[in-house]
């Protein structure tokens, strides 16, 4: 290629780059939020001359000239920044409040099952069972494996196994039914066969399969609507709440899923949620190709802004005060102004290319740590604060012009040497790795209250119930189940200080669901006496079948699996052992233990326990498998 031709191409590239920069600079104030925004470098980085002159700028000479002028540029840019302005922050007419729970009056002694039954009520379970049987009939479920209609009891057991599998995770769902000695034994799998569990997973249906679907997420209705209604009715979130996105993992084919790089779950369904310290108050399902039909369209707001306002409008604004925190994907001056007009406070980070964000606060240089500036735009305070890098924020509820009155001491960690503004920030710390430093209250409040949705994601990630499925809507069902579990756990933890770990809550709930099947009726315990009655009837213990002798101590409790209706068959063995039922009756009657208790060669093959069955004594085999404390 000719040299002149090569130089002309270079001139064209430089001119084209400058034109792009000029166009984007003019449109900067009117641009909307964009997930894939990429800043274009300032014109000075391209050099002052074109063509061959630009080539002469390369190398050590250009680098040294830039370094020599960096200090002067920083001083000039710091001098150009306006001082923190006076701002008339939004004042609530009602005082701020904390998270409160409003359970029904007959919930005198709430348990995990009682609270969970508010979200998965008997009416909702009946709808799921009915629609599942209808869907199985439409799909000719009996042609292959034999199919029998799903019952309420079976669905509760199926839910219990899902919750149990979320706590004790295995590579495959089939491993819970693996009877190989190399695998652990999971007693909960004795209440339902593997084939039946997979059949229910195959044909479960929440909505009516014969009715048309108005929306893409209608297959999880009416359960989704019911869970959201209950979440809003039994709890009032605290004044400081957050809005953020949740990603429900799904990598199958669906036009409604999204892909976001550098996320813990990079692909799946995106759900916008309004949360308070992990409690999901309201949510909406979003799609790449369809708008949410329930969202009210406000002309001056963008699509994302309308979705945020829809979530905020679910709050009891008339009776309470609320401040919503959000990240830079949602924040905009128009949205914050609109929320202020609706008596809702707002605070959040913002992108520098957001519409109407002040040009003077769009700083890329490395300024001194704790440089603070701001501009008021449409009753919204735009803020620039220099930390490890420039932090841009919007707020309608904070002030920054009162010096130390709007600052708070916090322990800060010294940044790494590779961080953006390491030289200037590390100089503040000296040799200390941590140091107590004053930071703006707006920064501290954002750090404290923005994580409400992240806490919900964290709690869901510990013991998630999601299984690999082929049907595209089922990940949303698993998310609804996890949301109901987390909300139930947080409610119980709020009203009962003895509830500590989510794992214990889930395990007790799983066995309570099994307990409902063994009860043999559909009574619903709502009062304190009924709850205590159930707690006396069933105790969660596991008898070790590998022990030759079972010792009945003062704390011995009858195992729950003895009441199951399947697999309890007698077997005669050569080895004699003490009757477990006779020893239990001695302890129950507070009698002194006999040195020679009755022994038997008759064993239950499922319980692996010796039990009497002869004409001299009563039928211990029958009594052990049928006894309930309320029968006396």
Specify whether the CB–CB gap between 600 and 579 falls below 8 A: yes
How large a percentage of the chain has pLDDT more than 70? 78
**pLDDT band (50, 70, 90) for residue 79:** low
CA distance 632 to 628: 8
Secondary structure class of 241 (helix, strand, coil): strand
Of all helices (H) and strands (E), which one includes residue 363?
none
> Is pLDDT above 60 for 138?
yes
Please state, in angstroms and rounded to a whole number, the distance separating the CA atoms of residues 119 and 488. 8
Tell me what the mean pLDDT of segment 462-486 comes to: 94
pLDDT in tens, 239-296: 999 999 999 999 989 999 999 888 888 999 999 999 999 999 999 999 988 888 888 8
Token digits of residue 507: 């395990």
Task: Give me the pLDDT at residue 67, please.
Answer: 46
Task: Please compute the mean of the pLDDT values over residues 352-359 and round it to a whole number.
Answer: 91
Q: Kindly state the average pLDDT of the residues 98-112.
A: 83
Q: What is the pLDDT of residue 568?
A: 82
Residue pLDDT, tens place only, 526-541:
444 444 544 444 433 3
Domain boundaries along the sequence of the chain: 3-58, 110-211+500-534, 219-327+450-495, 560-631
d(CA 27, CA 19): 13
Residue 459 has what pLDDT?
Answer: 93
Q: Which residue has the higher pLDDT, 52 or 587?
A: 587
* pLDDT value of position 74: 53
pLDDT of residue 78: 52
Asked whether the predicted pLDDT for residue 211 surpasses 80, the reply is yes
Backbone phi and psi for residue 173, each to the nearest 5 degrees, phi listed first: -65, -25
Nearest to 620 by CA among 585, 590, 595: 585
Per-residue pLDDT reduced to its tens digit, 10-44: 444 444 344 444 434 444 444 444 443 333 333 33
pLDDT of residue 556: 66
Length of the chain: 632
pLDDT of residue 176: 93
Under a CB-based contact definition with an 8 Å cutoff, are residues 409 and 438 in contact?
Answer: yes
Whether 310 shows a pLDDT value over 90: the answer reads yes
Q: Per mean pLDDT, which range of 48-62, 69-83, 439-453, 467-481 is the poorest?
A: 48-62
- Looking at residue 363, its pLDDT comes to 85
Question: What is the tens place of the pLDDT at every residue in 507-529?
Answer: 999 999 988 766 554 444 444 44
Average pLDDT value over all residues in the chain: 80
Higher pLDDT, 3 or 303: 303
Distance in angstroms (rounded) separating the CA atoms of residues 121 and 315: 24
Mean per-residue pLDDT, 153-172? 94
pLDDT at 5: 43
What does the pLDDT average to over 581-610? 76
What pLDDT, on the 0 to 100 scale, is given for residue 21?
Answer: 41
Q: Of the given ranges (212-226, 248-262, 420-434), which has the lowest mean pLDDT?
A: 420-434
Q: Which DSSP string do the residues of 98-139 spell out, in sequence order?
A: --EE---TT-SS--HHHHHHHHS-HHHHHHHHHHHHHHHHHT
**What is the reported pLDDT for 58?**
40
Torsion on CA atoms 504, 509, 514, 516, rounded to nearest 10: 140
Give me the pLDDT at residue 579, please: 84
Burial class from Cβ neighbours inside 10 Å (0-12, 13-18, 19+) for residue 508 reads middle
């Amino acid at each position: 290629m000719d040299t002149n031709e090569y130089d002309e191409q270079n001139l064209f590239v430089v001119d084209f780059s400058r034109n792009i920069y000029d166009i984007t600079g003019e449109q900067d104030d009117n641009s909307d939020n964009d997930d894939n925004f990429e800043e274009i470098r300032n014109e000075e980085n391209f050099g002052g001359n074109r063509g061959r002159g630009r080539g002469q700028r390369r190398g050590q000479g250009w680098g040294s000239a830039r370094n020599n002028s960096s200090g002067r540029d920083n001083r000039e840019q710091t001098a150009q920044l306006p001082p923190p302005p006076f701002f008339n922050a939004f004042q609530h007419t009602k005082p701020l409040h904390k998270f409160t729970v409003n359970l029904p009056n007959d919930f005198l002694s709430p348990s995990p099952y009682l609270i969970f039954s508010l979200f998965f009520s008997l009416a909702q379970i009946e709808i799921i069972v009915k629609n599942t049987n209808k869907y199985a009939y439409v799909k000719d479920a009996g042609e292959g494996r034999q199919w029998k209609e799903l019952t309420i009891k079976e669905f509760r057991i199926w839910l219990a196994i899902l919750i149990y599998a979320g706590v004790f995770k295995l590579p495959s769902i089939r491993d819970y039914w693996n009877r190989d000695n190399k695998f652990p034994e999971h007693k909960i799998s004795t209440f339902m066969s593997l084939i039946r569990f997979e059949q229910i997973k195959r044909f479960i249906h929440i909505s009516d399969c014969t009715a048309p679907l108005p929306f893409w997420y209608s297959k999880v209705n009416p359960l989704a609507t019911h869970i959201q209604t209950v979440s809003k009715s039994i709890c009032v979130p605290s004044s400081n709440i957050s809005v953020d996105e949740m990603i429900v993992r799904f990598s199958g084919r669906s036009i409604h899923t999204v892909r976001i790089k550098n996320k813990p779950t990079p692909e799946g369904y995106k759900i916008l949620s309004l949360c308070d310290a992990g409690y999901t108050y309201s949510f909406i399902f979003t799609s790449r190709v369809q708008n949410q039909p329930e969202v009210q369209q406000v002309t001056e707001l963008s699509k994302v802004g309308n979705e945020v306002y829809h979530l905020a409008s679910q709050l009891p604004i008339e009776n309470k005060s609320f401040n919503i925190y959000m990240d830079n994907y949602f924040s905009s001056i128009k949205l914050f102004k609109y929320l202020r007009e609706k008596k809702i406070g707002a605070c959040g980070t913002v992108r520098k290319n957001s519409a109407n964000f002040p040009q003077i606060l769009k700083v890329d240089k490395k300024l001194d740590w704790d440089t603070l500036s701001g501009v008021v735009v449409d009753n919204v305070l735009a803020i620039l604060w220099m930390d490890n890098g420039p932090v841009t924020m919007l707020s309608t509820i904070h002030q920054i012009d009162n010096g130390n009155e709007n600052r708070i001491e916090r322990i800060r960690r010294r940044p790494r040497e590779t961080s953006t503004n390491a030289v200037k920030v590390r100089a503040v710390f000296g040799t200390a790795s941590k140091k107590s430093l004053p930071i703006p209250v707006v920064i501290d409040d954002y750090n404290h209250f923005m994580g409400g949705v992240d806490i919900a994601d964290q709690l869901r990630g510990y013991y998630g119930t999601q299984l690999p499925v082929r049907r595209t809507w089922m990940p949303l069902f698993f998310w609804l189940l996890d949301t109901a579990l987390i909300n139930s756990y947080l409610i119980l933890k709020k009203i009962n200080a003895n509830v500590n770990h989510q794992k214990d809550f889930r395990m007790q709930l799983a066995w309570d669901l099994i307990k409902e099947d063994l009860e043999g009726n559909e009574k619903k315990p709502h009062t304190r006496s009924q709850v205590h009655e159930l707690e006396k009837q069933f105790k969660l213990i596991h008898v070790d079948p590998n022990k030759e002798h079972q010792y009945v101590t003062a704390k011995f409790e009858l195992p729950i699996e003895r009441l199951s209706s399947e697999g309890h068959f007698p077997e005669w063995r050569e080895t004699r052992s003490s009757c477990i039922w006779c020893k239990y009756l001695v302890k129950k009657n507070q009698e002194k233990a006999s040195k020679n208790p009755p022994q038997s060669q008759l064993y239950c093959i499922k319980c692996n326990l010796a039990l009497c069955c002869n004409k001299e004594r009563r039928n211990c085999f029958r009594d052990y498998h049928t006894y309930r404390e309320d029968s006396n």
